[in-house]
Amino acid sequence: MAIHSPANRLWWNERIEKQELIWILVAFVWGLIMFFAMIYWHIAGEQNLSNESYRVDPETYAETVESFTETYQVREEGDTGIPVVHPPAGSDIYMIARLWEWYPILELEKDKTYRLHLSSQDWQHGFSLQPSNINIQVHPGYELVVTITPDQAGEYSVVCNEFCGIGHHNMLGRIYVTD
Amino acid sequence: MSAQTEFRTCPKTGLKVHLAAEKLIKANAVVAIVFLAIGGLFGLLVALTRWPAVHLLPDNLFYLALTAHGADVLLFWILFFEMALLYFCSAILLNCRLAMPKLGWVGFWLMIVGALLANIAVLQGNSSVMFTSYVPMQAAPHFYLGLILFAVGALIGCVLFFATLVIAKEEKTYEGSIPLVTFAALTAAIIAIFTIVSGAIILVPTFFWSLGIIQHIDPLVYKLIWWGMGHSSQQINVSAQVGVWYAIAALVLGAKPLSEKVSRMAFLMYILFLQLACAHHLLVEPGLSSEWKIFNTSYAMYLAVLGSMIHGMTVPGAIEAAQRRRGFTNGVFEWLRKAPWGNPAFSGMFISLVLFGFLGGISGVMMGTEQLNIIVHNTLYVPGHFHGTVVAGTTLAFMAITYPVLELIFQKELMFPKLAKWQPYVFGLGVAGISLFMMGAGTLGVARRHWDITFADATLSFEYPPMALAMLGLNGLSAVLAAAGGIMFIMVAVGTVFFGKSLKETSEVQATPEGVAAATSYGSETHLQLPGTIVLISVFFIAFVLYYFINWKYLATVWPMS
């Protein structure tokens, strides 16, 4: 039994039964398929997370976002006057996460490609784009640049899905995609 | 003879039981169950708060309860129980005296002090940093100190385990190789060393940082090393829980491993590859390359997954072989139909096996895929997954082994046998619901660790699909059911320990467990065909493949990004 020492002291010489052997082979091959699926998706798939990231000082990043916002602001929204920016298609766009907001609100054009910069000013946050359901971790001190192509028009929300203190559940941002 | 080397002989199994080891096993098991009760209660409060129609706790208490829930069940319940298992698998199964039992008590008390300190820090309200305590969010210094002391205590338990193996070898208390179940515990203990060292590397500086002695801890480095502890400790659980599956199959049915070689190789895979799994938590982080992510997240081409898939066949296979030898040979499934479903050790073990594979296993591989992680990272899918592994898998397996342990180690007759009989079903159903409905809500994008997904107080507004809210309601109902199963377990366990009829006085020696006599030697000559197991693993495999590709299809619908 499994709670006793093996009856056959030379257990490593025992033959492996065919049924077990086949299953091991099936499982091993399936593992290889799953492994190469990830590599294949980098070649043929359209949803891959960028590897482009930089170390950045949180305050410097906040200043970059502020000047980006001032340049392209088109209106304000909400009780607190959150700026809405409409950057040119194909440009670098910025969003900062901080206690407890996603700043600013972005207005993008459908089927245009943008370089989205993401970083945090304080703690870790989670960029969760809904309802499209794209989830990216946002760190202070690291700036991720991900190329996105919104392919459907509509109103998207950015939920924070990394716990960031007592205001976490009120941390909501927005991205508009216009036709 | 000193008190430390006194033995008794177990009338049921004939094993020599070292009394000092037995005491440590009892103490660790009882404390484990206390933390299960506390942590379980916090879990119920969390689920009732996330149930939109109930929304029980205010926000600050919700985050507090969530932090306490994680620490108390994921860490304290499981590790105290694993200490008991380590002592059981070394001293008891090897007929050996436990090395340095006094040191074992030092470890035990360190773990208690650590666990209490961490709980106090959390309950004081300024350490609601979640179980993961990601920097730069900061907890009170005694939160980290508690975890460190607890880990040191657990490390002592592992050292005693190794020392006992050495003594058993020296004193020749067993012949040939150690039993498979002890081998599983050895796997767990080796991974535990890696885990605790990772924990020390990151938690000690974090402790100094919380005191203001160290200025800065890099959040990404923290996460990388923290998960060297956090994920590896789940692999301790997997090894321990698979060991428990084999042990229960042996105790209840006299089942033998189909092949020692295959089963031991599968455990070896865990040791060799599981450490890479910290990458599972870093798939959508900045600053790490895709090459690094792909190699590590797949345990170098899924070799640790291969280990689990092997056990997924050899455990039911061993049960089928044992049952067929006992004469249940009709058709494909007579062996399963006529299994001892009324014995909570067996039913708990089998439900644990099935739920771990279908809910925890498949979902874990799916979300551990580099790109697929984009659609689930930090959603409720993640706790849905690990309630399938750690609760339906590990916790249910540990509950199941508790029943025979109450008889063998505590030498007590089970109190409330009817309650015990139904307990695995109630708990299993509840946990299956928790796991499934959280994964469902997570697939719809719902964030984890979130007090109010209706965003009632936010400046902007957003609504998740109504189906997601319904899922959270069902999750709450399932949590109530699981809590009922948990209470049933605690009633039986605590009732038996403190008020159970002692089996010591019964002069009549208990019959050997059913089937022990019926078991024949394994190996090719008596090896039977296992059609039932083949059907079971085929169903599992088809479900796995389909679900895996469905998620690629889902990923293909989100915004193109690169």
Residue type, B99: A
DSSP lists the bridge partners of residue A75 as A84
pLDDT at B14: 78
Examine residue A131 and say whether the peptide bond preceding it is cis (omega within 30 degrees of 0): yes
Residue A169 has pLDDT above 90, yes or no: yes
B371 to chain A: closest CA residue: A48
Using a CB-CB distance cutoff of 8 angstroms, which residues of chain B are in contact with residue A37?
A: 369, 552
Structure tokens at B412: 């007590």
What pLDDT does residue A3 have?
Answer: 82
Is the per-residue pLDDT at B2 higher than 80? no
Contacts of B276 in chain A (CB under 8 A): none
Q: How far apart (Å, rounded) are the C-alpha atoms in residues B353 and B241?
A: 9
Cβ pair B289:A51 closer than 8 A: yes
Residue A155 burial (10 A CB sphere; 0-12, 13-18, 19+)? exposed
Q: Output the CA torsion sign for B50, B56, B57, B58.
A: positive
- A23 and A59 part of one domain: no
What one-character DSSP code corresponds to residue B15? -
Tell whether A35 and A113 lie within a shared domain: no
CB contact under 8 A, A135 and B530: no
Chain A interface includes B371 (CB < 8 A): yes
Same domain, A87 and A165: yes
Residues in chain A with CB shorter than 8 Å from the CB of B533 are 19
The CA dihedral of B241, B242, B243, B247, to the nearest 10 degrees, is: 100
Indicate the number of domains in chain A: 2
Predicted model pTM: 0.94
Residue B527: its pLDDT value, please?
55
A22 and A110 together in one domain: no
B404-455 confidence digits (pLDDT tens): 999 888 899 999 999 999 999 999 999 999 999 999 999 999 999 999 999 9
pLDDT tens across B393-403, in order? 999 999 999 99
Assess: ipTM above 0.85: yes
Under 8 Å between Cβ of B556 and A142: no
Contact A1 B445 (CB under 8 A): no
Q: Which amino acid is at A32?
A: L
Please write the tens of the pLDDT for every residue from B203-241: 999 999 999 999 999 999 999 999 988 898 888 999 999
CB atoms B130 and A163 under 8 Å: yes
% of chain B exceeding 70 in pLDDT: 95
Tell me the mean pLDDT in the region B296-313: 90
**A142 at interface of B, judged by CB pairs closer than 8 A:** yes
What distance in Å separates residue B536's CA from the closest CA in chain A? 12
Residue B512 clears pLDDT 80, i.e. is over it: no
3-state secondary structure of B207: helix
Verify whether the Cβ–Cβ distance A169 to B458 is below 8 Å. yes
- Strand-pair category, B16-18 with B7-9: antiparallel
Three-class DSSP category at A157 = strand
Beta bridge partners of A158: A129, A173
- Report yes or no on A164 lying in a domain: yes
Taking CB atoms and an 8 Å cutoff, what residues of chain B touch A19? 317, 529-530, 533-534
Distance CA B116, CA B150 (A): 9
Interface test with B, best of A28, A133, A138, A175 (most B CBs within 10 A): A133
Please, which residues 59-88 of chain A have a Cβ atom closer than 8 Å to chain B? 77-80, 82
Could you list the residue range(s) of the whole structural domain that residue A34 is in? 12-44
Interface of A with B in 91-120 (CB under 8 A): 101, 118
- Residue B558: list chain A partners with CB under 8 A: 47, 132-134
Do A24 and A82 fall within a single domain? Answer: no
Give B14's contacts in chain A (Cβ within 8 Å). Answer: none
DSSP state of B447: B
Q: Which two tokens stand for residue A106?
A: 């972005």
Q: What is the pLDDT of residues B452-470, one digit of tens each?
A: 999 999 999 999 999 999 9
Q: Percent of chain B having pLDDT more than 90?
A: 82
- Interface contact A165, partner B, CB < 8 A: yes
Phi and psi (nearest 5°) for A114?
A: -130, 155
pLDDT at B521: 37
C-alpha B45/C-alpha B118 separation (Å) is 19
Please name which of A63, A77, A122, A72 lies closest in space to residue A92, comparing C-alpha atoms.
A72
Measure in Å the smallest separation between the Cα of B247 and chain A Cα atoms: 6
- Tell which wins on pLDDT, B278 or B336: B336
Separation of alpha carbons B198 and B186, rounded Å: 19
Q: Could you give the C-alpha distances from B133 to A171, B7, B125, B147, in angstroms and in order?
A: 19, 44, 14, 11
Which residues lie across from A54 on neighbouring strands?
Answer: A143
Residue A122 lies in a domain: yes
**pLDDT band (50, 70, 90) for residue B528:** low
pLDDT tens readout for residues B50-78: 999 999 999 999 999 999 999 999 999 99
Look at residues B504, B514, B483, B188 and name the one whose alpha carbon lies nearest to residue B345. Answer: B514
What CA–CA distances, in Å, run from B543 to B18, B60, B531, B548? 46, 40, 19, 8
The answer to whether residues A30 and A106 belong to one domain is: no
Q: Say if the Cβ atoms of B259 and A17 lie within 8 Å.
A: yes
Is residue A134 included in any domain, yes or no?
A: yes
d(CA B300, CA A38): 13
Q: Would you tell me how many other CB atoms lie within 10 Å of the CB of residue B261?
A: 17
Do A151 and A73 lie in a common domain? yes
Residues A81 and A32 in one domain: no
Q: Which residue has the tokens 């203990």?
A: B189
Judgement on whether residues A110 and A174 belong to the same structural domain of the protein: yes
Are both A103 and A155 inside the same structural domain? yes
Would you call A153 an interface residue with chain B, using a CB distance cutoff of 8 Å? no
CB contact under 8 A, B378 and A137: yes
- Same domain as A62, residue A18: no
* pLDDT tens-digit series, residues B126-185: 999 999 999 999 999 999 999 999 999 999 999 999 999 999 999 999 988 999 999 999
A53-67, A116-130, B247-261, B525-539: the lowest-pLDDT one: B525-539
Chain A residue numbers with beta carbons less than 8 Å from the beta carbon of B314 are 20
A5 located within any domain: no
Give domain status of residue A3, yes or no.
no
A58 and A116 together in one domain: yes
DSSP character string of B467-485? HHHHHHHHHHHHHHHHHHH
Banded model confidence at residue B516, pLDDT cuts 50, 70, 90: very low
Q: What average pLDDT is seen over chain B?
A: 91
* Confidence label for A4 from pLDDT (cuts 50, 70 and 90): confident
